[in-house]
């Protein structure tokens, strides 16, 4: 995608966490805060905590399923160090507004681009729009390494720190390490051991990508154009066929100048229907169509975050999407015939319930 650097890692969650951990080299302290959307795959919130920061949740905009930029500034405190928008379901977050807020408050921006491989925002690639971008290469994503992640950035100093962080915080070629371990430095500090591989300059992780995974990823690069073509065909086809179910059933749309990644197809039930999401997905699943929810409101619906003290109702849009939404896949092996079957079933169910 044209960034100067890409650092391969063991997962997308590690990519989120390590990108944030770079902040410690620039004065951040444990328990500083990172702003994230309330609705995402739970890895987003977990990664903030794993990096030693505290997530500050902000509600989403139901029309985009992404963080609502108009609510970000209220969540900024003197401890805030970064914003991590998520491009959920392949839909780009409003990066111009987010970057403007970040610049004003001197915050780092890390894109959680796990679900947005290949998406574009106002003519630019997702993954090039913040200070760093974290991708997942888990099997659910377009290019996969089985398990894996990757961080893209134009900042070579960040990339060098990331190479250290993924290997236990080992000394690297970044300015701080060279200063500490360079000519004569290590001999002075370490009486017995001047082996740079056993000099650790920061608190690190064990998050390297292994060769086997990398080989799978290289194979995927060869077949990527074909995978992308088929997924894009599915994305366009299902959107066209689904349009007749609006406004009862909603989905999210690309904004001006945006291209969504053909990652998955989200469905959100409008208010006031005569059936619940659970009845709807049970009907689909009985007919052989597998679905997944639109994740949960991390602060109010994922028990592990309970200690942060948020209350049900604090994030109405995220909670609505979690209770009234679901998504289905757009995998390259899904054909137009499969999509026609899905559309027929949805039509029948709506008839049944009317």
Q: Taking CB under 6 A as the rule, does residue 69 contact ligand PLP?
A: no
Cα pseudo-dihedral 241, 243, 249, 255, rounded to 10: 120
Q: Taking CB under 6 A as the rule, does residue 86 contact ligand PLP?
A: yes
Q: Taking CB under 6 A as the rule, does residue 83 contact ligand PLP?
A: no
Q: Taking CB under 6 A as the rule, does residue 265 contact ligand PLP?
A: no
Q: Segment near ligand PLP (CB under 6 A), from 107-115, 167-175, 213-221, 269-277? A: 107-115
Selected from 11, 64, 234, 332, the binder of ligand PLP by CB under 6 A is: 11
Q: Taking CB under 6 A as the rule, does residue 66 contact ligand PLP?
A: no
Spatial contact of 90 and 136, defined as CB atoms under 8 Å apart: no
Minimal distance, residue 350 CB to ligand PLP, in Å: 29
Q: Taking CB under 6 A as the rule, does residue 112 contact ligand PLP?
A: yes
Selected from 17, 25, 41, 269, the binder of ligand PLP by CB under 6 A is: 41
- Alpha carbons within 13 angstroms on the beta-carbon side of residue 261 total 28
Minimal distance, residue 150 CB to ligand PLP, in Å: 10
Within 10 Å of residue 41's Cβ, how many Cβ atoms? Answer: 21
Minimal distance, residue 16 CB to ligand PLP, in Å: 6
Spatial contact of 35 and 187, defined as CB atoms under 8 Å apart: no
Selected from 115, 125, 201, 259, the binder of ligand PLP by CB under 6 A is: 115
Residue closer to ligand PLP, measured from CB, 11 or 234: 11
Q: Tokens 């609705």: give the residue.
A: 39
Q: Taking CB under 6 A as the rule, does residue 92 contact ligand PLP?
A: no
> Which residue has its beta carbon closest to ligand PLP?
12
Spatial contact of 137 and 217, defined as CB atoms under 8 Å apart: yes
Q: Segment near ligand PLP (CB under 6 A), from 8-16, 102-110, 196-204, 206-214? A: 8-16
Q: Segment near ligand PLP (CB under 6 A), from 9-17, 49-57, 195-203, 247-255? A: 9-17
Instruction: Using CB under 6 A, count the residues that bind ligand PLP.
Output: 16
Q: Segment near ligand PLP (CB under 6 A), from 37-45, 53-61, 75-83, 209-217? A: 37-45
Minimal distance, residue 10 CB to ligand PLP, in Å: 8
Q: Taking CB under 6 A as the rule, does residue 13 contact ligand PLP?
A: yes
Which residues lie below 8 Å from residue 206, measured CB to CB, with a gap of 6+? 10, 166, 167, 168
Q: What is the 3-state secondary structure (H, E, C) of 242-277?
A: HHHHCCCEECCCCCCCEECCCCEEEEEECCCCCCCH
Q: Segment near ligand PLP (CB under 6 A), from 57-65, 133-141, 152-160, 195-203? A: 133-141
CA gap 54, 57 in Å, rounded = 9
Spatial contact of 90 and 114, defined as CB atoms under 8 Å apart: no
Minimal distance, residue 144 CB to ligand PLP, in Å: 9
Q: Taking CB under 6 A as the rule, does residue 138 contact ligand PLP?
A: yes
Retrieve residue 113's tokens: 């681009």
Q: Taking CB under 6 A as the rule, does residue 64 contact ligand PLP?
A: no
Q: Taking CB under 6 A as the rule, does residue 152 contact ligand PLP?
A: no
What end-to-end distance do the CA atoms of the chain give, in Å? Answer: 47
Binding interface with ligand PLP (CB under 6 A): 11-13, 16, 40-41, 43-44, 86, 112, 114-115, 136, 138, 140, 149
């Amino acid at each position: 995608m044209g960034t100067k650097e890409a650092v391969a890692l063991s997962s997308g969650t590690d990519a989120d966490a390590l990108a944030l951990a770079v902040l410690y080299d620039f004065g951040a302290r444990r328990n500083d805060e990172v702003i994230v959307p309330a609705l995402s795959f739970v890895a987003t919130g977990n990664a903030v905590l794993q990096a030693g920061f505290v997530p500050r949740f902000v509600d989403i905009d139901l029309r985009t399923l992404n963080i609502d930029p108009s609510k970000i500034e209220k969540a900024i405190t003197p401890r805030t160090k970064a914003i991590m928008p998520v491009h959920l379901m392949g839909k780009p977050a409003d990066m111009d507004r987010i970057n403007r807020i970040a610049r004003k408050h001197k915050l780092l921006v890390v894109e959680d681009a796990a679900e947005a491989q290949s998406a574009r925002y106002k003519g630019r690639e997702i993954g090039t729009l913040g200070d760093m971008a974290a991708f997942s290469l888990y099997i659910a994503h377009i290019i996969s390494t089985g398990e894996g992640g990757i961080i893209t950035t134009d900042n070579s100093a960040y990339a060098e720190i990331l190479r250290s962080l993924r290997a236990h915080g080992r000394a690297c070629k970044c300015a701080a390490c060279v200063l500490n371990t360079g000519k004569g430095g290590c001999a002075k500090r370490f009486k017995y051991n001047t082996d740079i591989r056993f000099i650790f300059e920061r608190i690190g992780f064990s998050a390297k990508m292994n060769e086997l995974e990398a080989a799978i990823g290289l194979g995927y690069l060869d077949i990527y154009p074909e995978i992308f073509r088929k997924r894009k065909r599915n994305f366009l086809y299902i959107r066209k066929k689904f349009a007749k179910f609006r406004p009862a059933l909603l989905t999210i749309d690309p904004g001006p100048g945006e291209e969504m990644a053909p990652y998955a197809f989200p469905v959100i039930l409008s208010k006031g229907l005569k059936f619940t999401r659970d009845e709807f997905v049970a009907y689909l699943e009985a007919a052989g169509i597998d679905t997944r929810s639109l994740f949960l409101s991390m602060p109010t619906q994922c028990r592990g975050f309970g200690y942060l003290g948020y209350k049900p109702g604090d994030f109405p849009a995220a909670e609505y999407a979690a209770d009234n939404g679901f998504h289905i896949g757009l995998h390259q092996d899904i054909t137009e015939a499969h999509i026609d079957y899905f559309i027929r079933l949805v039509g029948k169910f709506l008839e049944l319930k009317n």
